[in-house]
Structure 1
Amino acid sequence: MSVTDFLLPDLGEGLTESEIASWKIAEGDTVTVNQVIAEIETAKALVELPSPFDGKIRKLYAEEGATVQVGEPLIAFELDGESSESASSQKAGDEREPVLVGYGPKKETGAAPRRRRRAWDGNAPSASAATVPEDAPRQGARESADAPAERPERPRTTPPVRIFAREIGVDLTQVEGTGDGGLITRADVQKASEALPMVPVAETPRAITVSGREDVRTPIKGVRKATAAAMTDSAFTAPHASEFITIDVTRTSELVARLRAQHPHARLTIMTVVAKAMILAIPRTPSANAHWDDEAQEIVEFGSVHLGVAAATERGLVVPVVKNADTMDLLQLADAIAALVTTAREGKTQPADMSGGTITLTNVGVFGVDAGTPILTPGQSAILAAGAVRRRPWEYDDQVALRDVMTLSLSFDHRIVDGEQASRFLVDVARVLEDPGTALTLV
């Protein structure tokens, strides 16, 4: 029997850390290969983490809510028999980097697979699982072979208590926990703060409380942190410009109604037609589906359309991507968009499904908004926002009538897309929505 540390695997897509959203097992439980042991939240998605071994859970190194870096230990497994031999073979050099679905010990035949190299910091181990003797000291932190000195174990507490301690200036290493197993509680931190010497500080402005409600602090992490970083990078990298057009979409509304009657199971909306109109307009303005390659000093016009669809979720804004959207008919596109948005709102979108987009569509109309100036998705040259469809008095056949009216907002990277090109693209999209039959003239 041996004890093996399982380290947080490389999650791909440039992700270097994740938060333990929930453990599905507890210390002492026996698990099997590919059994879901945890839900981990990355900057892009909430994903299930399967077990790499058959064995017993000796120790959980991270609590729910804790953030773990790639390569840091997550779980200590007690292994015996074939599982132990498999772990030993990984340590001996037959290493395979796990993925998040369906990994575990496998017997290989023929030539050994090529292993993707990964850059680690100087103290990180080179494999995702490292076998250690059962009686070895276990601190929950990695140790360098060249520097075996023990590192102090981080005090046991919860993320909210850590934040509280940091805000009021309490060093948790100096606090004695009174909770179960020595867990440091909020009361422990409060008591420790009262024992600190009073230090005079300059008075700072405070928010005036009128309603009696306390300020709410939300840690910037996960999807919100990634979105903020991406939008800041986009706003200060690509010179944004925006254009607007307001159009009569009554014929498109009527088309959607007819198609829904003919195909009752299709998840067709007016946004599907907007997406299709964008795809049809791209061949006439390929710069709208392009990328600025700063390193190569080239403008790359993409050969395919991978349509990003912005979706508001409880975890923040995510942009799942319909791959090869230009190969789909209207009903296929409707189903693909609906499926991606549903998965996103359930928090189950995988990182790979949010990468590779070439142009983005966002629906601000769902919030009752008429127009906006959306920020580009990093690496793309255009994003279209569709506003709310409203019944308004509108000139129609030389008379004033109530019509369905919508505003489209286009933001674009002015390094790639000139004003004339942006105008042509926006007008082409509008023409299709005003009269869907116009689509026949765009191909």
Structure 2
Amino acid sequence: MASLASLSIYTVPGRAGRAESVKAPRRRRMAVVRAKVREIFMPALSSTMTEGKIVSWTTAEGDRVSKGDPVVVVESDKADMDVETFHDGIIAAVLVPAGGTAPVGAPIALLAESEEDVALAQARAQALSKAQGEETPPPHAAATAPPTMAPAPATVTAPTNGIATPHAKKLAKQHRVDISNVVGTGPNGRITAADVEAVVGIQPKPKAAPPPPPAARSAPPAGIPLVAAVRQPAVLPPVPGATVVPFTSMQSTVSRNMVESLSVPTFRVGYAIKTDKLDALYEKVKLKGVTKTLLLVKAAGMALAQHPVVNASCRDGKSFSYNSSINIAVAVAIEGGLLTPVLEDVDKSDIYLLAQKWRALLKKTRMKQLQPSEYSSGTFSLSNLGMFGVDRFDAILPPGQGAIMAVGASRPTVIADKNGFFSIKNEMLVNVTADHRIIYGADLAAFLQTFAKIAEDPESLTL
């Protein structure tokens, strides 16, 4: 009946006014409550970023900002980027000053909606600061020694009526001890051999220590490293007189990626390439901004188009992906770290367009202003140290890629042809490190043969 009555409120035309009175509270409950104080959080500027460092604040406490205004410059693990605000308001309190770090998602500033709310935001900032100061790590159980229990007083037992073990009776007879006067400490006051020995004054024999467990027996003496132990990061004492400098965010990321890469099974293949024609082409195009590294990048892109398995990647350890785009990451050393800006669709771009893209990427790299898509989309990597006179080196495979090419300098080399005649040719040695889970020796050898064919007859690079 109640349901019918409530239904009639909405269906009977004569009771429309009553229906409106019933609906009104719902409209009041749906009223929008506007926040007076908002938090500005540390953003995640890349997929590998776990914390960020405040480079500088572009605004100060008390400044009024609008939605979309940059308020702070944050150093991620790859670049320095401006962080914008999503709301209008006043910067009421800076929680993390310039030079400080905060984990991703942590508040770094408070934004007040109006002048009247600034005091509320500052009080909230003081409460947050006080709460962080009062946080203390929980005590470790191993560091707290258990309380020492006082030994229970020995129970004094009256002399028994000769209740003793056979061994105790034998000892009493040997030492002419009246066993009826011995106080027994055994179960129910029974006299043991130790009780008789105590009356006679015989010191008890020390008990042999139990054999150590197998792990303890196999432990080497102090000072000898445990070869079979699980490897853990070694914390070595500082060298006297040395200055300890903590890693920057970029160096921490490089270190973490390199350690991760060492868990991937890899193999390396070297290949010698004649570079006389490549060197001649470089002399023609370098005035147009084309570097030798770009010629190698273009040659690698064309070879990868014919051998897509070398452009594949394994990211989960269970499967691999054939990448539809050939994006080559090029290692660039900058002050305090290493970045790998990515040239996308290398096989579809001519070398002059690649040179234009590379100049823009290089400028942003040196200013640490690369966007995440400009350094994390690589499918193959190339590292060239030939300009430093390096003959050969092995590169470490970046996480999530199938292979990386390490290029050395061109050197004059004496070469014998099939007829036994000798000539001097310029040769360059390239070493490729590949993920052995998805790439095998035959695949890599075929790729290097194609790469060498293109580099030794490089006219196709300018088409």
* Same topology, TM > 0.5: yes
| Cα deviation digits, residues 231-263 of structure 1 (max 9, x gap) | 111111x21111112322121121122234xxx
Please tell me whether residue 45 in structure 1 is matched to residue 79 in structure 2.
yes
Matches within 5 A, 1:108-147: 133-134=120-121, 136-139=123-126, 141=128
- What is the aligned counterpart of 2:415 among 372, 392, 395? 395
Amino acid at match of 1:400: S
Matched, 1:418 2:440: yes
8 A contact 1:431–1:438 mirrored in 2: no
Is contact 2:78-2:368 (8 Å) kept? no
**Which amino acid is the alignment partner of residue 435 of structure 1?**
D
> Residue 359 of structure 1: which of 377, 380, 396 is its match?
380
Q: Is the 8 A contact 2:329 2:379 kept in 1?
A: yes
Find the aligned partners of 1:205 and 1:152 in 2 and give their Cα distance.
30
Correspondence 1:158-169 to 2 at 5 A: none
8 A contact 2:57–2:72 mirrored in 1:
yes
Instruction: List aligned pairs for 1:309-320, cutoff 5 A.
Output: 309-320=330-341
Question: Structure 1: where are the runs of 5+ without partners?
Answer: 85-130, 143-149, 156-203, 209-213
Q: TM-score, normalised by structure 2?
A: 0.63
Change (3 A) 1:134 1:298: closer
1:386 counterpart SS class? strand
Q: Which amino acid aligns with 2:256?
A: A
Distance 1:151-1:426 versus aligned 2 partners, 3 A rule: same
Partner SS, residue 349 of structure 1: coil
Q: Distance in 1 between matches of 2:399 and 2:237?
A: 37
Question: Which position in structure 2 is the counterpart of 1:77?
Answer: 111
Q: Aligned partners of 1:154 and 1:336: how far apart in 2?
A: 52
SS in 1 for 2:125: coil
The answer on whether the counterparts of 2:53 and 2:74 sit within 8 Å (CA) in structure 1 is: yes
Tell me the residue number matched to 2:99: 65
Match of 1:222 among 233, 249, 252: 249
Shift of 1:50: 2.4
Written as runs of structure 1 = structure 2, the 5 A alignment for 1:32-431 is: 32-80=66-114, 133-134=120-121, 136-139=123-126, 141=128, 151-153=131-133, 207=239, 214-236=241-263, 238-260=264-286, 264=287, 266-292=288-314, 294=316, 297-390=318-411, 392-395=412-415, 398-401=421-424, 403-431=425-453
- Measured at CA, do residues 134 and 224 of structure 1 come closer, stay the same or move farther in structure 2, by a change above 3 Å? closer
Q: Which moved further from structure 2: 131-140 or 358-367? A: 131-140
Contact 1:4 1:132 (8 Å CA) reproduced = no
CA distance, structure 2, for counterparts of residue 245 and residue 140 of structure 1: 64
Q: Residues 385 and 409 of structure 2 are in contact (CA less than 8 Å); yes or no, is this contact kept in structure 1?
A: yes
**Which amino acid counterpart does residue 301 of structure 2 have in structure 1?**
I
Write out per-residue CA displacement over residues 251-288 of structure 1, whole angstroms, 9 at most, x where no aligned residue: 1121122234xxx4x32011111111111111332211
Question: In the superposition, relative to structure 1, how do residues 301 and 206 fare at CA in structure 2: closer, same or farther (>3 Å)?
Answer: closer
* Equivalent pair of 2:48/2:77 in contact (CA under 8 Å): no
TM-score scaled by length of structure 1:
0.66
Consecutive unaligned residues of structure 2, counting only runs of 5 or more, are 1-34, 136-235
The one-letter code of the counterpart of 2:243 is V
Q: Using the alignment, how far apart are the partners of 1:338 and 1:396 within structure 2? A: 40
Distance in 2, Cα, partners of 1:20 & 1:395? 57
Aligned residue for 2:244, secondary structure, equals coil
Higher helix share: 2
Q: Deviations over 1:54-94 (max 9, x none)?
A: 4332211112221112222112223339xx9xxxxxxxxxx
Q: Is the 8 A contact 1:18 1:43 kept in 2?
A: yes
Residue from 422, 433, 442 that aligns with 2:455:
433
Q: State the SS of the aligned residue for 1:335.
A: helix
Q: How many residues align?
A: 326
Is the contact between residue 70 and residue 83 of structure 2 (CA under 8 Å) also seen in structure 1? yes
CA distance in 2, matches of 1:228, 1:219: 12
Q: Please say which structure displays the higher CA radius of gyration.
A: 2
Q: Relative contact order (C-alpha < 8 Å, sep 6+): which is higher? A: 1
Contact 1:139-1:153 at 8 Å conserved across structures = no
Note if contact 2:90-2:114 (Cα within 8 Å) is conserved in structure 1: no
Rate the CA distance shift 1:396–1:33 in 2: closer, same or farther, 3 A: farther
Q: Residue in 1 aligned with 2:142?
A: none
Q: Quick one: distance in 2 between partners of 1:267 and 1:5? A: 47
Q: Distance in 2 between matches of 1:140 and 1:422?
A: 60
Question: Pairwise CA RMSD of aligned residues?
Answer: 3.1
Aligned partners of 2:110 and 2:121 also within 8 Å: no
Whether the 8 Å CA contact 2:96–2:102 is kept in 1: the answer is yes
- For 2:211, the equivalent position in structure 1 comes to none
